[in-house]
């Protein structure tokens, strides 16, 4: 069975911290990008308003040392009743053959093809769906991504069990 490891990545508060911004060195912290690169074998879906700037997001991330592939961007909704979790759910339905949110070992929407995945969400906000809770890692806006967050993501993605990183 084909297996994918997907990272839904917000930028603000994950790779861009207040602390780094106040240092005057730039916006995206290369040290945070380096931490993210530890999740070798995973692929990134940008789930940030940064994803809507005609390729500049990927260019900025590559300049800061990102090695992981970027495979897509979530749609962005402006309705008050929709949240980032809805955007991620739509991406999963559109791109993972309707599998939708994984609940434990079962999918809420059955797969149409022989395709499996694990996913993790990095964001400093908590506007996600209940079924995504076990996949969500909330970063602190002040400090952004940490080694502890990467270690949690490795367990959520089951990279040590299923993929030699």
pLDDT given at position 13: 92
Return per-residue pLDDT of the chain as tens, 165 residues: 578 899 999 999 999 988 888 888 888 999 999 999 999 999 999 998 766 666 788 899 999 999 999 988 888 776 776 788 888 888 888 877 544 444 455 545 444 444 578 999 999 988 888 888 999 999 998 899 999 999 999 999 998 765 544
| pLDDT at 130 (0 to 100) | 85
Q: How far apart are CA 134 and CA 44, in angstroms?
A: 18
pTM of the model: 0.84
Q: Which CATH architecture has domain 7-162?
A: 3-Layer(aba) Sandwich (3.40)
């Amino acid at each position: 069975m084909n297996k994918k490891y997907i990272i839904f990545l917000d930028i603000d508060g994950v790779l861009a911290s207040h602390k780094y911004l106040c240092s005057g060195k730039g916006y995206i912290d290369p040290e945070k990008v380096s931490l993210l690169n530890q999740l070798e074998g995973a692929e990134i879906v940008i789930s940030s308003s940064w994803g809507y700037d005609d390729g500049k997001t990927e260019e900025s991330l590559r300049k800061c040392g990102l090695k992981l592939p970027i495979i897509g961007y979530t749609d962005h909704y402006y309705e008050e009743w929709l949240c980032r979790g809805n955007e991620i759910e739509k991406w999963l339905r559109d791109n993972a053959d309707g599998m939708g949110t994984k609940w434990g070992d079962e999918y809420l929407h059955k797969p149409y093809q022989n395709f499996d995945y694990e996913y993790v969400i990095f964001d400093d906000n908590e506007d996600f769906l209940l079924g995504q809770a076990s996949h969500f890692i909330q970063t602190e806006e002040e400090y952004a991504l940490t080694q502890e967050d990467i270690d949690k993501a490795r367990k959520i993605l089951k990279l040590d069990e299923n993929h030699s990183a």
